[in-house]
């Protein structure tokens, strides 16, 4: 039987419980074998000069997922040259693991502009898309957005109903710079941040 692997990418700057909760919900709701966390390399949507170095983001991700046997770290983007577009990452993963069924996990709010991503049709060719739904979202509206995307190109897209936590890395960075102890940070990640004086700590 082919493995079912979830893919959760992000800058993880820093990684927080919201990321872990989404991954855990996708893992449970879709009976995945594993979820692979992929810290962003050269992101097309971020100013890299303002990002924490990749080595630290990888370390924080590794610390955060360590208690979860079903979560794995992939360095495929931070070790790659060029811009880290999702379609490129999934294409490379499918070439390396042709018998694996990949599930790309993203926030359901991204459905609004998913058709504007770089080659969304390739993303949907290489993976089933799982959209994490927040509690304040109307599921009928989400289903309508999914149906609209499916009129543009073949796509398997399903909502993930649990685990979406209202927290952002931007919000946590502001709290850290203000000297606050932010919620939703795994203890090991918070200790790492304090020891290395990241985010102005």
DSSP string, 120-188: HHHHHHHEEEEEEPPTTS-HHHHHHHHHHHHTTS---EEEE-S---S--HHHHHHHHHTT---TT--HH
The span from the CA of 151 to the CA of 179, in Å, is 49
Strand, helix or coil for residue 72: strand
Contacts for 188 with CB less than 8 Å, ≥ 6 apart: 63, 64, 66
The span from the CA of 111 to the CA of 108, in Å, is 5
Q: Domain extents for the chain?
A: 4-166
- Take residue 60 and report the two structure tokens written for it: 């924080």
Q: Is the pLDDT of residue 165 over 80?
A: no
The span from the CA of 34 to the CA of 23, in Å, is 9
Q: Using 50, 70 and 90 to split pLDDT, how confident is the model at 125?
A: very high
pLDDT in tens, 77-107: 999 988 889 999 999 999 999 999 999 999 9
- Take residue 101 and report the two structure tokens written for it: 């069924």
pTM equals 0.94
The span from the CA of 55 to the CA of 60, in Å, is 9
Find the range with the poorest average confidence among 44-48, 65-69, 113-117, 184-188.
44-48
CATH of 4-166, one of 3.40.50.1820, 3.40.50.620, 3.30.720.210, 3.20.20.10: 3.40.50.620
pLDDT in tens, 14-24: 999 999 999 99
């Amino acid at each position: 039987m082919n493995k079912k692997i979830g893919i959760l990418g992000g800058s993880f700057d820093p990684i927080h419980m919201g990321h872990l909760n989404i991954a855990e919900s996708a893992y449970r709701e879709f009976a995945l074998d594993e979820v692979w966390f992929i810290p962003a390399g050269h992101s097309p949507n971020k100013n890299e000069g303002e990002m924490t170095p990749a080595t630290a983001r990888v370390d924080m991700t590794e610390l955060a997922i360590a208690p979860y046997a079903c979560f794995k770290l992939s360095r495929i983007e931070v070790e790659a040259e060029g811009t880290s577009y999702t379609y490129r990452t999934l294409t490379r993963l499918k070439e390396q693991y042709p018998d694996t069924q990949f599930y790309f996990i993203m926030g359901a709010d991204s459905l609004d502009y998913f058709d504007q991503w770089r080659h969304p049709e390739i993303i949907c060719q290489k993976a089933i898309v799982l959209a994490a739904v927040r509690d304040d979202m109307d599921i009928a509206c989400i289903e309508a957005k999914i149906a609209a995307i499916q009129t543009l190109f073949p796509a398997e897209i399903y909502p993930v109903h649990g685990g979406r936590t209202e927290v952002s890395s931007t919000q946590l960075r502001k709290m850290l710079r203000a000297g606050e102890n932010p919620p939703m940070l795994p203890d090991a990640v918070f200790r790492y941040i304090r020891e290395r004086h990241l985010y102005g700590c």
